[in-house]
Homo-oligomer: A and B are copies of this chain.
Amino acid sequence: MTRPLIALAALSLAIPAFAAPAPLTLTLEQQAEAALDKDENAYAFVEGLTTEVGPRQAGTEAEARAREWAAAWLRNAGFDNVAIEPFMMDTWVPGDVARARVTSPFAQDLAVLPLGNSAATPAGGIEAEVVFFRTVDDLRAAPAGSLKGKIAYISHQMRPAQDGSHYGFAGPARWVGAGIAASKGAVATVIKSVGTDHHRNPHTGGTSFPEGVTPIPAGALSLPDAENLERMFARAGGRPVTLRLEMNPRQIGQTESGNVVGEIVGRNPALPPLLLACHIDSWWNAPGAFDDGAGCGIIIAAAGYAGQHQPLRTIRVLLAGAEETGLWGSKAYSDAHIGERIAVGLESDFGADRIWRFDSNFRETNPALHKKIAAAVARFGVSSGSDAATGGADLNIVRDQKGALVDLQQDGTRYFDLHHTPDDTLDKIDIVQLRQNVAVWTQVVGILANEETAILTGGPIPAAPAIMQGQ
């Protein structure tokens, strides 16, 4: 079986080196190095998506436009079996009012945005005394009923880290803070944004309320505003600090979302395929260049390069819908395809900065393959890790199948400067680091797609990573 050359051209940019039907003279290693030198496809994808669509909240018409846009891109890039697989989801929308103002003792507006699943305030807002909690643990320790009629403010100390590990440390302020506060009688919650920058753009993201707890308004203050509020407490000298909060988000019931899929069909379609994942949705406030336009650009570009010589196994890409608001696309994909065995899953969803570590969950059970990949990516500055890969948020199907996973860990030092904020824009993409991602992915996907024997394994399947707890 032969297959036509993949014309992996950007929609708007011609990339002659890869797009022209030239002889297949490049080896996989040369393809990866060419990507390192001059890939334009990943950047062009992010540029196109952020310019022509922009923010694309799950379940909205903007996300639907993003699906159509991405499907057209995949077809244009020569992918086979491109399809949109719709599913229904519970949809929350942010509304168009988000205001916070300290009313006493120091009157001043604060920059606020609602968290996903936040309830609305009454029109005109809600005004109440603020109770300051330095940590979620302090909030947990507050007596039952002690927040009746109050607004809880929850702080944390998040630091930038290459592996993003402080998200697990600081994230609970957002993930569970509002629910805990509501259960103790609070009328609303505001948190210090779970982020590491100092710009006046709050970081949104999902929160959740336990069964039986009625949702309350839950907002995030930008970090400068949160610090200002904390200084006000320090200067209040025991006087109550009162806040007026007004927001009008709402649940709008079930709407349609969808996953976008495409394939580079392998020489032996009977073998389980690779699944390369990213997500196509973003929060309404974020153009989603880092989260996760870049990830989709990376996997699509790498699939194309690795597939220039038709690979043994099919390479499937999954641009999942509705990741941010609850992994709806990941669940829907697993539900629909659980019977189709996946050989190995990989996801790119941690920005666009360089990959620094490779992990798999078959290091002990298939050491030859693990070592082969580790040796091949070392020249791109990627070390071999000893963690067991857990897979990204959109790889539920692989975890459900207890299958093989590879994690290509990206530098997350500045990821939480941008995460879920309006600042997640195209200009933040460093094309040199983006190309390194495409090169490493090309190399790894090329090896895995030509692996003749089963990739797994038999090792333990770890729980989903901390980053999935709050998306």
Contact = CB atoms under 8 A, between A and B. Distances in A.
Interface string A9-48: 0001000000000000000000000000000000000011
Given A52-B106, A52-B235, A111 B422 contact: yes
Contacts of A48: 235
Contact of A422 (B200, B421, B425, B426): B200
B199 A423 contact: yes
A60 B279 CA distance: 47
Interface string A406-441: 000000000000000111011110000000000000
A183 to B, nearest CB: 32
Interface in A264-288: 287
A429 to B, nearest CB: 11
Contacts of A195: none
B425 A53 contact: no
A86 interface: no
Given A47-B231, A50-B228, A199-B201, A55 B108 contact: yes
13 contacts: A51-B228, A52-B232, A53-B106, A53-B108, A54-B228, A55-B108, A199-B199, A199-B200, A200-B423, A224-B425, A227-B427, A228-B426, A231-B426
Contacts of A140: none
B224 A427 contact: yes
Interface string A101-120: 00000111101000000000
A381 B271 CA distance: 70
A198 B52 CA distance: 19
Interface string A81-123: 0000000000000000000000000111101000000000000
A94 to B, nearest CB: 12
A12 B232 CA distance: 12
Q: How many copies does the complex hold?
A: 2
B51 A232 contact: yes
A227 to B, nearest CB: 7
B106 A54 contact: yes
A109 B53 CA distance: 10
A428 B199 CA distance: 10
A54 B53 CA distance: 36
Interface string A286-297: 010000000000
A423 B427 CA distance: 18
Contacts of A425: 198, 200, 224, 228
Contacts of A200: 199, 201, 421-423, 425
Interface in A152-207: 198-201
Interface core residue of A53, A232, A287, A421 (most chain B CB under 10 Å): A287
Given A201-B201, A224-B426, 10 more contacts: A48-B235, A50-B228, A52-B235, A53-B106, A54-B108, A54-B228, A198-B423, A200-B423, A224-B423, A228-B426
A423 B421 CA distance: 14
What 3 pairs across the A-B complex have the smallest Cβ distances? A54-B108, A200-B422, A224-B425
Interface core residue of A48, A52, A198, A200 (most chain B CB under 10 Å): A200
Contact of A51 (B54, B106, B111, B428): B106
Nearest to A228: B51
Contacts of A47: 231
Contacts of A199: 199-201, 423
A52 B232 CA distance: 7
Contact of A12 (B111, B228, B235): B235
A427 B199 CA distance: 10
Contacts of A109: 54-55
A96 B374 CA distance: 56
Nearest to A47: B231
Interface in A127-172: none
Interface string A220-244: 0001100110011001000000000
Nearest to A12: B235
Contacts of A108: 53-55
Contacts of A62: 107
A228 B427 CA distance: 10
A201 B423 CA distance: 9
A185 B339 CA distance: 64
Contacts of A231: 47, 51, 426
A295 to B, nearest CB: 20
